[in-house]
Structure formats: C-alpha cells, structure tokens
Chain A
Amino acid sequence: MARMDVEKTIRDLKPLIGQVVPIRTMQETRPLEEFGDAFVAEVNVKSASKVIKALDAAFPKDPSLPLSHLRRFAKREILPPPLRAAIESQSAPLAAPAQTIFVLISPPLPDLTTLKTLLAPFAPAATNETLDETSNSDSPAPTINLHSTTIPLCPPFNITQAEAWTKSLWPVVFNPAAPRSTVAPPPQTLKRTQESIEPRAGYYISLARKVAEEAEQSGLGRGVGAVIVDPAIEEEITAAGYEVGYDNTTEWDEAVLAVAGDARYSRSEAGAPSQAQLHAGIVPNPASKTYNADVEGGPELHALMRAVDIVARWRREHDPLDDVPASTATADPLRPELEQPELSALESYFLYRHRPDTFTNIPNSSHSPSSPLKRKHEVPNPESDLAIDPSTDPSQSQLPYPPLPAPPPSTVILGDSSALATTPAGPRIRTRSQGGYLCTDLDVYISHEPCLCCSMGMLLSRFRSVTFPRRGRLETGGLSSEPVVTPVADELDPTVEAPASAVDGQDEKEYYGLHWRKELNWRALGFEFVEDDDVEVKSEAGMPVFHA
C-alpha cells in the first residue's frame, strides 16, 4: 500500500459509535463478604512459632484475600468478651492459662480432621502440674478444641473500626499504609481518564480493526490489531482546537504513536517455512480456522506485544543507551533480537511519519504547566546527558530502516511564560533522553480482549490504560472480570448449539481482571468500548477460541 493509499484509508475510517465503560476490578465484581468464618484453637504458648509454621506449610493462603489486619494469636485475657464467654462455656479455662494462647485459623478453612491432627502436638497440657516425661505418658493425650468464630475479611478503614472489631470479633490491627484503594482505581483518576479517552476511542478502535484486517489479509496473522496512543499529544491537539475555535477530533490520528497487527503465522521455526509461507496467497491463513497450538506462533507475535516491541525498537534505533552502544548491543549473541516480520504498510506509516509543524508550533496557552498530563520531555531529563543526533550516529547506517532526519529544533511559547521548551517536531515517540520509558503513561487500544500473557505484558510496559471493544471479548482474555449478556466474539453460533453457560448463567470461564489487581505491583485502567448497536450484533459464528 502506497503512502497516499494509507493516508486515504485513515481518512476514510469511521469511528465506532458507542460508549467507553470501565472494566470493574475483581474485588468490585466479587465484593468480599464483610465477615467470614474462622476457627480459634488454644495451644501451648511455647509452641506458638511451630504452630504458625505448621499451619502455613499445610494450608495455602489465598493471595487475593490478605488477612494481615488480623492478629494471629490472642491471649485469653485479650479475647473479645463474647468469644471468650463462648469458649469458656464449652471448656473451662485451665488453672494456669498463662501457658496457653489462642491461635486464629482463617479462611480458606481447612478440613477439620486434618486441622485437629496437625495441631494435636501443640495442644495445651491437660493439667497445670509441672510436667515431666513419665507423668505425661500416663495422662490422656491432650486434644485440640476448635471454636467457630467470625472475623472481618477486609482491613479496617480506621482505628475506631479496628477497636470495635477487636472488642467484638477478634484482635485487629489498623495499618494506615494499606489503604483499601488498591482494590479499585481512585474514582477521580478513573473519571478523568475516561473523559480523556472518550472523544477519540471510537476512532482508535476503528483503526485497530483496520490493522486487524490488514494482518488477516496479509496471511501473517489472525485478525487482531493494536494501537498505541500518547494522551499528552491528544491534549495538545485539544488545546490547539480551542485556540482556533473548532472541534479537531477528526485529527485524532496525530496522537497515534504506533500500530501493530497480529503476526503469529510469520515466524519460521527450525528453518522450516512459516505458516504464512506455507499458505502463501491464501487469505485468511487456513491455520486460523482452528486452534492448533503447534502453529499459533507465540504471544510475542500477538498484536499488543508487537506494538510494545515496535515502540521499543524505535527507541533502540534512535536512542541507544549511553552505556550500551547500539552496534555491540545488537550483536550480542546471548541476547538475539526476537524474530519479527517486516512492518506492514500501516505499521510502518505510523512508526516513521513525522509530526506536522502545525501541531508543534502553536501557542499553547491552555496547556497549564501543572497539568497532570504535561509532557515529561518539556522538562529536560536531569538524569540523562544523552544528546545523540540520530543522523550522525554511524550505527544508523546498518539499520534496516532509513534513518530519520534529526528532529528540527523547535520552540513553543508556553502560555504566558517566557520560557522556551523543546517539543518533538519530528517523531512522536519520546526518546529516553526526553523521558520516554517503556510505555509509561500511554494508552493502548486493541480490537480484541488481550490474552493473559499480553495483559500482563501491558502492565509490565506501564501503560496508563487499555481499551477493547466489548464485541472483541474472548474466552482466553485476561481483562474482563464478569460475564456480559451481549454476544462475545468467540461464542459458539447460538443457532448451531445453544451455549449452555449463557442460558444457565453458570459461566465456567475464568475471569482475571488483570488490569487492576491489588496483588500485582503494576496497575492500569481498563475500559470496554460498548457499541450502540451491540445488542443487535450476532456473534462471529465459526470463529475458533484463540489467544489475542
């Protein structure tokens, strides 16, 4: 496709009409019961650490249910009075209670018999007489009494709640450093981001579908496409629109940094022809009619992972690390570049085009320096003294792609400030020296719900948000957190076989809601694009289950 054709294709794209809906987190879709059942057992105080070791070794914890707000032990005198009364109504306290302590066994609750057997060696002695080996052997074997109780499953919001629970249920610790906000995005952040992506999301998903179509029609992959967008550029475009007084949403594609299509059939393995070569000229690739793991390539060839790598590759070409010269880095036999196909027409167009000057030489009065989306590169990165001009870097001549001319130095006047700042009049992707780091603060739009591998790759790449059309939901997806009633892409054709799960409402699919998990170190905002005509859409009959 020639450049003019690419530009016409982009101009002719019609945005999807619909709305952007946040994907709820796992904790939101499965609100924890505030309280749960637990057991309390009295054990010998001298065995306390052994008891913990034995319990932790025998019964796995549920990582999605951290109970670190609950004390693991309580002495008799600090048991909540109701619990203490219940316990003492079943078994009178020993004469020397100081020798015992109560341990909490919290959910997931183990089998009772197993638990009793496990704890038996740590049971308090039956009497308070000084024990020696001989007298102990004559007395009946001490047994463990398990007492049922109720515990709060969520950490307390404040110290008052902690004290109330401590008095009524079980001793609770309040940790102000463990806010419950990790279970869901802060509402203001979610709202602000949703408002920021809403005006152009329909265009980006439309472009992602065009990229998907290109991937499928090339025979190189399945019909999945991804689009990476810089919201800071969107904000600049919006600001420019205010300046000239018209809605320039139609210039949406200015903020697109890179696009990538699925390329799972492009790889040659063990020197044999790739699936694309085997079926050259036949599109879509016949391999896409079924799911055969042996010919599915790998997730690094999926659209989202390829888009991430295309951004990285651009940086490797234009912004080599100061301590790793590009020439030696690429020659390292221990770390070969992963085999990736040649860029498609759309991929190449978006990666290597320039920003027109009209968008960089605008007075930017509405762009407040305190804006949260203020581009980092407007402030020179003090961490870096890197100032490599790509056009003079000798390593550029070995690159498979023509080097870009050096970005012309340009200046913009920032509002009423007289300070001059540099903006990228050429490439859109921020180099490392401009503060660019992985895909930090970028948005990704994808034609289908990404698989678990790609969903985690999205988090590891530090995206701000991920958006896919609800119609592109997949059984193998890693982001959705609950079923929908509307059809999804890989459901069986209902005329052929009624999907029992949908009828019963007993969906067997695993949901992960990976975009925002409190257990993971990185989180992103997740959105679904719900098209206005989604209710009338039939699912794509005959489409096999696969990983996008």
Chain B
Amino acid sequence: MELKGNSMVAEGSRHGQFMKEALLMGEKALQSGETPVGCVLVHNDQIVGFGMNDTNRSMNGTRHAEFIAIAEMLQSYPKSELQSTDLYVTVEPCVMCASALKQYRIRSVYFGCANDRFGGTGGVLSLHSDPSIDPPYPVYGGLFKEEAIMLLRRFYIQENDKAPNPRPKKNRELNTSFQNGSKEAPPTW
C-alpha cells in the first residue's frame, strides 16, 4: 500500500508528524556521518523510541536504526508492548530488520522510500507477510518518500573515508530532481 507523502492530508496527519520525527533522526545520522536512516516507535500516540543508523560509530554493521529505537523503548516498556506499537522509518526496513520486527511482533510499519537492494518488506523479500512462527504485520510505504531519498542522496554524494577503499566522488552533483522515474533510492543503498 502507498501513502501520498506530499498531500496536505498526510503532512498534517499524525502519520506525517511521526515521519517528520523519523526524518529528523535521519538528519542527525547524516550529521554524524552515518547512513541517514532514522525512525521512531509510536505507542499510544507517544514516541517511545528514537533510532538512527549507528554502524560507523559502533563499528558494527548490524546497528540499524530499528534496533536502536527498540533498545530505547525496552528501557521503559516490556517487549510485549511492541504488539501495540508502530514503526515510522525513513527507508524500508532491510531483510535483517524486517525479520527482527517480526520477531518483536511490531504492530505495523510505515516507511518512506523503498529499498530495492536490501528491503525485507517488499523491496527484495517480503518477510512481513511470509508465513513464519510469528504473525505477519502490515506495511505502508511512500510517506515523505522524496525527503527520505534526498537524505540518502546527500549522504552518498560524500566520500566514505571509513571504507577500506574510498571512491573519489569529487565531480558528483546533488541530484534534486524527482522527474523521469528518478524516485528510487540511490543504487548504492
């Protein structure tokens, strides 16, 4: 299912408000040199966990935003409360996080842009709906999709001096266009 991120309805809605908070987390990630993905967990209309990608600082490639937000939530809530909690995340959860969210029994997931390289909720695999020992969860994509993509583009135009072999990107310019089918996330994500 796709939500229209730029309509007045969505921007003013509670979904839009929560996704804006997730985008702010993505912005913080960008400022600290992390892949700019942010998320919030919402329980009874309250944000109970903030997360941003943390792989570079932690030197652990599995520290995605979703895990950080869940860790924060579990400081105040038991795991069972995730069954009445929704996730708002700027980029479609990867295969790892899609499985983790199912094991944690998240109620539903709202994401910004799709992730056709690692996506686990429709991008590559559809773990949210595949049969398993944990129940499926609904996923809604497309909320503030362009904002989420711009965060990623701003990140990938930088050189990654953390990588073993950084690629020079001096001549790249930030693409701000969303015409001609360029609405997909940058291919490096």
Contact = CB atoms under 8 A, between A and B. Distances in A.
Interface stretch (A28-36, A150-158, A398-406, A455-463): A455-463
B103 A323 contact: no
Contacts of B123: 63
Interface stretch (A123-131, A194-202, A239-247, A289-297): A289-297
A163 B120 CA distance: 36
A432 B59 contact: yes
B94 A329 contact: no
B62 A298 contact: no
B133 A339 contact: no
B166 interface: yes
Interface in A301-344: 305, 308-309, 312, 315-316, 319, 321, 323-324, 329, 332, 334-339
Contact of A476 (B60, B76, B132): B132
Interface in A91-124: none
Contact of A305 (B62, B105, B166): B62
B85 to A, nearest CB: 13
A67 to B, nearest CB: 15
Given A299-B99, A456-B94, A475-B133, A438 B59 contact: yes
Nearest to A64: B124
B1 to A, nearest CB: 12
B117 interface: yes
Interface string B66-106: 01101110111111100000000000001111011001110
Interface string A519-545: 111000000000000000000000001
Given A305-B62, A520-B95, A452 B127 contact: yes
A476 B100 CA distance: 12
B171 interface: no
Interface stretch (B6-14, B49-57, B148-156): B49-57
Nearest to A310: B60
A308 B133 contact: no
A319 B75 CA distance: 28
Contacts of B3: none
B59 A329 contact: no
Contacts of A305: 62
Contact of A270 (B54, B63, B78, B94): B78
A291 B54 CA distance: 30
Interface string A463-483: 000000000000110100000
A24 interface: no
Interface in B117-151: 117-118, 120, 123-125, 127, 130-134
A335 B166 CA distance: 26
Contacts of A508: 131
Given A461-B62, A521-B118, A296 B103 contact: yes
A520 B117 contact: yes
Given A270-B74, A294-B78, A298-B103, A456 B58 contact: no
A383 interface: yes
A7 interface: no
A335 B96 contact: no
Of residues B100, B161, B165, which shows the largest number of chain A Cβ atoms within 10 Å of its Cβ?
A: B100
Contact of B103 (A299, A324, A437): A299
Q: Contact residue range for chain A?
A: 35 or more
B96 A453 contact: yes
Given A383-B164, A456-B95, A312 B58 contact: yes
B120 A456 contact: yes
B95 A452 contact: yes
A130 B182 CA distance: 36
B118 A476 contact: no
Contacts of B80: 294
Contact of B50 (A308, A316, A334): A334
A334 B33 contact: no
Interface residues of B, number: 53
Contact of A272 (B58, B68, B78): B78
Q: Interface majority SS on A: helix, strand, loop or mixed?
A: loop
A514 B124 CA distance: 11
Contacts of B76: 270-271
B35 to A, nearest CB: 11
A206 B71 CA distance: 32
Contacts of B61: 308, 438-439, 457, 460-462
Contacts of B104: 293, 298
Contact of B71 (A296, A339, A460): A339
A547 B103 contact: yes
Contacts of A339: 71
B58 A316 contact: yes
A435 interface: yes
Contacts of B116: 63
Contacts of A323: 33
B15 interface: no
B43 interface: no
B99 A321 contact: no
A461 B161 CA distance: 18
A512 B131 CA distance: 12
A332 B76 CA distance: 19
A436 to B, nearest CB: 9
A456 B130 contact: no
A512 B120 CA distance: 12
Nearest to B54: A335
Given A339-B71, A510-B131, A298 B78 contact: no
A383 B58 CA distance: 19
11 contacts: A63-B123, A294-B80, A298-B67, A309-B60, A321-B56, A335-B58, A376-B164, A453-B99, A456-B118, A461-B60, A547-B103
Top 6 A-B residue pairs of the complex, sorted by shortest distance between their CB atoms: A456-B96, A312-B60, A453-B99, A452-B99, A456-B95, A457-B62
Interface of A: 63, 267, 269-272, 291, 293-300, 305, 308-309, 312, 315-316, 319, 321, 323-324, 329, 332, 334-339, 376, 381, 383, 432, 435, 437-440, 451-453, 456-457, 460-462, 475-476, 478, 508, 510, 512, 514, 517, 519-521, 545-547
